[in-house]
Amino acid sequence: MPLSRKLLAEFIGTALLLAAVVGSGIMGAALSPQNTAVALLANAAATAAALYVLIALFGPLSGAHFNPAVTLVACLRRELTARHALAYAVVQIAAAVSGVLLAHAMFDLPLIQSGTHVRTGPAQWLSEAVAAFGLLLTILLGTRQRPAAVPVLVAGYIFAAYWFTASTSFANPAVTLARSLTQSFAGIRPADVSGFVLAQLAGALAAAPVAAVLAEAPEPARAS
């Protein structure tokens, strides 16, 4: 498949993912302004549902990375050339920003904003490392062992990680950068982006050798 078609799939998928993340955050907070738990539940559910659909649709076209950390690991595993990986990452970042602007436009909010939600500190960074580690492990092992189930595996993991991580599981450098452009429920301060991105990349890179070791493990005996 031509690279241009893969990049188009990455752009559409990433933009729609961010529209779902930010848009559902806006809607959840508007409908439950006094109940953060309900807003987070709505945000997590909408994000997971969108991920399932987008991965199922665009996986056969581009691999449905939607995430520079996923693309980086794919490049290190020689599943993508460095040139293609760079193109993927650039498109993912541009699409993520476009998705945030789209969400703002749908809710008649100022298109360009600067995030104000404070997200920093060791607990938040550890959360992002764990979130990215688990996401990459889910993708790498799921692709090998249950390829048809990858959409639901990733969606299920992200839904859970929204709740078991202190950071609500961004797990994606492009998502993190784009969410610094919104003051909505899903936002993050621009000053906090670098800490999140470094933690995400560390978690993703740690997952690759672990997945390689686990993939070499012998199949467990099955009862007849």
Exposure of 41 by Cβ count < 10 A (0-12 exposed, 13-18 middle, 19+ buried)? middle
pLDDT at residue number 218: 59
DSSP-H helix ranges across the chain: 3-31, 36-62, 68-76, 82-106, 122-145, 150-164, 173-179, 193-215
Mean pLDDT in residue range 101-125: 96
Reported as a pLDDT band with limits 50, 70 and 90, residue 216 is confident
How much of the chain, in percent, has pLDDT values that exceed 70? Answer: 96
Reported as a pLDDT band with limits 50, 70 and 90, residue 220 is low
* Eight-class DSSP state of 191: G
144-178 pLDDT, tens digit each:
999 999 999 999 999 999 999 999 999 999 999 99
Mean pLDDT in residue range 94-107: 98
Mean pLDDT in residue range 38-50: 96
Q: Residue 217 pLDDT > 70, yes or no?
A: no
What is the reported pTM? 0.93
Alpha carbons 38 and 41: distance in angstroms, whole number: 5
pLDDT at residue number 184: 94
Class of domain 3-213: mainly alpha
Decide: 50 and 16 in contact? Cβ < 8 Å. yes
pLDDT at residue number 224: 40
Average pLDDT, the chain: 95
